[in-house]
Amino acid sequence: MHEGELELTDDTAARLIARRFPKLALMPLQRVRTAGTVNTVFRIGDDLAARFPLTGETEVALDREADAMTEFAAVCPVAAPRSVGIGSSTSEYPSAWSVQTWVPGVTASHDRHAASESLASDVGDVIASLRAADVRGRVFDGHGRGGVLADHDEWIELCIDRSGHLLDAPRVRRLWNALRGLPSSGVDLMSHRDLTPFNLLVSDDRLAGVLDGGGFGPADRALDLVATWHLFDAPRRRIIRDRLGSGDVEWMRGAAWAVQQAMGLVWYYEESNPTMSDLGRSTMRRLLDDPELSSIG
């Protein structure tokens, strides 16, 4: 999926885990097939998972991620992975890697829960809980989504150019131009920062867990609203909007972040990860078909 992606065999993963965590050496090890784009994941026994970054990572970065996961799990109202330990880069795998607790559940789907009031209510509760966490004087770190919308103009233009055969590029451009200049909707709040269906686990149409809390930190208060566009139809989006009391600017900024994220998925993963590309296209259809957004774009 990525240039320079690191290869990892099951045998190599088993050796690395056994060397770093001898007590886990005899536990069953199973590669987890996911639509994820960041890590190769192995389940260790019933309760643990090893995550090996596809494009390499440092121990310092994974230490920061572990701290954020701990903070996230403490405020998330459903289960979330917690760090168990970090493995060092070696000649066999030139990247640091980590072991975390395993959270059971089925990955959410962009088309399976569109009309689920129970799941929409749960997602709204999660966002509200994260927003209530103490920022502790921190500010947005400037990396990725969560700052100034217009900073992503060049990225959006690239995505539009690469996606003309997959969606209505002129409509996307008009929508982005209408959203990119929106003012701030308030102070930054604590945010998951990547609240996509692939990071949400469900059981019996209820939210059972949230993955990848390692990016937890202050950001635009509207950022986590991307989940509403990835997952739900208009009536269920309204449930979340009402739960959070989102005003017009905040809601529209959430839509803008959804455009920024979804457009990258549409073309980048068209061949290497069709499931991820399908998510992007589904989200863009919801955004482009929304009457409120259509009126401004």
pLDDT for 84 beyond 70: yes
Phi-psi region of 246 (alpha: psi -120 to 50; beta: other; left: phi over 0): beta
Write a three-state SS string for the chain: CCCCCCCCCHHHHHHHHHHHCHHHCCCCEEEECCCCCCEEEEEECCCEEEEEECCCCCHHHHHHHHHHHHHHHHHCCCECCCEEEEECCCCCCCCCEEEEECCCCEECCCCCCCCCHHHHHHHHHHHHHHHCCCCCCCCCCCCCCCCCHHHHHHHHHHHHHHCCCCCCHHHHHHHHHHHCCCCCCCCCEEECCCCCHHHEEEECCEEEEECCHHHCEEECCCHHHHHHHHHCCHHHHHHHHHHHCCCHHHHHHHHHHHHHHHHHHHHHCCCCCHHHHHHHHHHHHHHHHCHHHHHHC
In this prediction, residue 34 has a pLDDT band, given cuts at 50, 70 and 90, of: confident
| Per-residue pLDDT at 3 | 62
| Per-residue pLDDT at 248 | 96
pLDDT for 137 beyond 80: yes
Q: Taking all residues of the chain, what is their mean pLDDT, rounded to a whole number?
A: 95
Query: Measuring CA to CA, how many Å separate 171 from each of 168, 238, 284?
Result: 6, 23, 10
Query: Measuring CA to CA, how many Å separate 6 from each of 31, 86, 95, 264?
Result: 15, 18, 9, 22
pLDDT for 1 beyond 90: no
| Per-residue pLDDT at 297 | 61
In this prediction, residue 36 has a pLDDT band, given cuts at 50, 70 and 90, of: low
| Per-residue pLDDT at 38 | 83
pLDDT for 2 beyond 90: no
| Per-residue pLDDT at 56 | 83
What is the average per-residue pLDDT within 144-166?
96
